Structure 1
Amino acid sequence: MRATDTLFADILTDSTTRRITADLFVGLDRVAEGIECSSIDLVWDGSQQVLCSGKVELVYQDDWGRSIAPEKLTDWLAPFGAWLDLKYEITMGDFSRSVRLGRLVVQKPRDVRRQRMVLAGRVFYPGEKITVDVADAFSITMRERFVTPGQPPTAATAWGELARLTGWPILRNVPDVDVPQTVTYQENRLDAVFDLGDVLGGSPYLRADNTLTIRPFTPGAVVATLHDGPEGQIVSHTVSEWDADQVYNQVVVRITDGDMVTAIADARITEGRLRYGLASQGAWGRIPYYVSSEYLKSVDQARAYAQSRLAIVSQQKTTIASIEMLPDPRLEVGDVVRLEASVDGSVTVGRIQKIALSTTGPMKVEAKLL
């Protein structure tokens, strides 16, 4: 949950005045600040490597009549090193508080609407609206590639490799560990980042200030309570059915040499509801997840890698609560929230896995019930 003071929570109501602004950066230089955002449509999705993406509409007025609409590579909003640092501000009476939503990469300017005037032979732009696609900085890492496949340096640690591979500041919120020999870097640098996250026991992501940290696979403590009813934050609340898609009880690792498979190792769930075996004998079935690698050199390495992947691909897809609520920009993917029903007083607990925030309508949240 994004950090704020207690006053933020006190004045966050349905009658609160809300305002979103952006500072525009080119590289490390801030070239414009406090640009009004007339609309935003942002999604944070924990199932995606690039956690945050969406679009922002900027309203820009310059005292000198200049435009920031991109027309050439060196213009401020050209999608080459341009960033928007978004701030969500709430106001009630004389009290005002704000929270940072994120520092997002400008990916594509989509729509430019502007007024044009000519005075004394010079062109002026008294105002303009510009819509741009944005995403968090992992969208850059996703496009970066290793020159050749390889492995981490000898005695490398997971946090050290995350810092080395990405260049972003690190917030170490889980203990560091040595990188096992089974970890190999293929082509995509972001895939390597998430492999290192698996070693640390979580999913890497960039916080609002672009520090890199880990969202642990294991849920943490409850950080907020959401109520329904006239006095609550929840507008509507529905629960989905159970879903077994993309759940596996076996990982099969194939060691390859060119087009040839030279060795195979596997790991299986041996007990519980997901037990590997014949359904006719009371097991769940035989549901394999396949992995191939030319960088694993022994059956022992392949078996260890299979066991580490099994812990991930065998996670049950539990019930999902879909919530529409008053916008609360403090909430983040990974937060554990308590849901309290006003009718019968029932309480459920869920972990947020997706948030959709816009300037129109309620905030939409998906939470996996625990």
Structure 2
Amino acid sequence: MRQHSQDLVDALAGSFERELTVNVYTASERTLTGARFESWQLSSDLGRAICGQGSGNVVHSSVDGESLVPVGTKGILSPFRARVEPVLTIRAGAFQESVSLGTFRVMAVPSAEDYVTEYEGREIVTASRVGIKFDSLETNIDRWGFRFPETSLAGASAFDEIRRFTNMAVEQTVDDVALPSVKTWEAKRGGRLEAVMELGKILGGQAVVNSRGAWVIIPDEIGEPVATLRLGELGTVLDVADEIETDTVYNEVIGKFEDAEGNAFYSIKAVTSGPLSIDGPYEVNSREYSSDLVKTQAQGDTAVQAVLDQSIGSQQYDVQIQCHINPLVEIGDVVELEGWKRPIVGRLTNVSLSDSAYMNVTMRVDRELS
């Protein structure tokens, strides 16, 4: 979740007003504070390697005739240099609190215009309106490819490797894992980000940059909720709880691996009791699994059992929700929804914010099978 006070949680449970402004940075220097930000939208999606994407119009009233329209690499909003921080301010009566939605890299300026007036025979800029498109900070790592093949040694900390590859802050949200074998990462554009994504999978989840600018791992397992979303009178829920899909419910997993000498070995795990038993009416639904990080029989048995447990423990499905805006939640958060006909708890895999009083989210929910 984004940083906040308990008073803000209470304010979001009632009636409130909101306003979005934007701070602009060049490197670590703040070059513009609290600029108006209009016609904005920000979407975050766990299905994208670069999770966050947004756009909007920065509107600035000139103080000394200055223009915000960038020219090539010049100008504080030039995509060659600018970072932006959208900030949403919540007001409820005398209460007011601002929430940073994160820091993003400006990728493009699709439109820009100065408004001018004549003064003593010359044109003076009175205001600027600059349209920008921006991406979350995973894009920095995507653009920064490995110059040469990079090797991670067996026994290395997965979190330490993420720190080494990104030179960014890391918040350890899951238990660390030692890499089971030597891994060589390919030197190519995007290879560094691919390495971080794979390290996230080794850690049992997905690597993303959160609103504080730090890498975190969103775990595959859905835990306890950290926030509540309000449906409201105009909210909608597309609930597919009654749909059942069995194609991805595997009751047997066949692992195929190679040891350090290149010799093949297998690990097979199956459900042998209960309604999903391979000897029962469900019969056999098997899948194959492999990983070049598995080099011993013990590692193979553990990996295959984990895949099987994930399959039979639950089947996840997505619920599409439109609800009151809540700037505190971000992708990866586990939340509960109030105001619906039945309790819904799940992980946010997509969050779309805009200048609307409502936001659209996708909540991934577990359907228990055993």
TM > 0.5 fold call? yes
2:177 is aligned with 1:177: yes
Cα shift readout 1:314-335 (whole Å, capped 9, x = no counterpart): 5965222111011100112222
CA distance in 2, matches of 1:362, 1:44: 15
Match of 1:62 in 2: 62
One-letter identity of the residue aligned with 2:358: P
User: What's the CA shift for 1:202?
Assistant: 2.2
What TM-score comes out, normalization by structure 1 length?
0.82
Match of 2:198 in 1: 195
2:123 is aligned with 1:119: no
One-letter identity of the residue aligned with 2:198: D
User: What's the CA shift for 1:73?
Assistant: 1.2
CA distance in 1, matches of 2:294, 2:155: 18
Three-state SS of the structure 2 residue aligned to 1:208 is: coil
RMSD: 3.5
One-letter identity of the residue aligned with 1:8: L
Match of 2:354 in 1: 358
Q: Which moved more, 1:5-14 or 1:49-58?
A: 5-14
Structure 2 CA distance for partners of 1:274 and 1:132, relative to 1, 3 Å:
farther
Match of 2:222 among 212, 219, 222: 219
* Kept after mapping to 1: 8 A contact 2:229/2:324: no
One-letter identity of the residue aligned with 1:368: R
Match of 1:147 in 2: 147
Structure 2 CA distance for partners of 1:361 and 1:9, relative to 1, 3 Å:
closer
User: What's the CA shift for 1:198?
Assistant: 2.0
One-letter identity of the residue aligned with 1:162: I
Structure 2 CA distance for partners of 1:96 and 1:278, relative to 1, 3 Å:
same
Q: How does 1:1-370 map to 2 (within 5 A)?
A: 1-12=1-12, 15-120=15-120, 122-153=122-153, 155-181=155-181, 183-187=183-187, 188-228=191-231, 230=233, 235-240=235-240, 241-242=243-244, 270-271=270-271, 282-284=283-285, 286-288=286-288, 307=304, 310=307, 318-341=316-339, 346-360=342-356, 362-370=358-366
* Kept after mapping to 2: 8 A contact 1:2/1:331: yes
Cα shift readout 1:244-286 (whole Å, capped 9, x = no counterpart): 678877677688xxxxxx87666655227998999998212x5
Which 5+ residue runs of structure 1 have no aligned equivalent? 256-261
Cα shift readout 1:330-367 (whole Å, capped 9, x = no counterpart): 1122222223446x5x3232221111111125200111
Three-state SS of the structure 1 residue aligned to 2:99 is: strand
CA distance in 2, matches of 1:162, 1:131: 33
* Kept after mapping to 1: 8 A contact 2:44/2:52: yes
CA distance in 2, matches of 1:251, 1:105: 43
One-letter identity of the residue aligned with 2:364: K
CA distance in 2, matches of 1:195, 1:223: 27
Structure 2 CA distance for partners of 1:71 and 1:247, relative to 1, 3 Å:
farther
Which 5+ residue runs of structure 2 have no aligned equivalent? none
User: What's the CA shift for 1:190?
Assistant: 0.8
User: What's the CA shift for 1:81?
Assistant: 2.9
Structure 2 CA distance for partners of 1:282 and 1:56, relative to 1, 3 Å:
same
What TM-score comes out, normalization by structure 2 length?
0.82
Cα shift readout 1:212-267 (whole Å, capped 9, x = no counterpart): 2222222221212345455xxx7111113455678877677688xxxxxx876666
Structure 2 CA distance for partners of 1:202 and 1:167, relative to 1, 3 Å:
same
Structure 2 CA distance for partners of 1:309 and 1:218, relative to 1, 3 Å:
closer
How many pairs are equivalent? 355
User: What's the CA shift for 1:9?
Assistant: 2.1
CA distance in 2, matches of 1:60, 1:8: 28
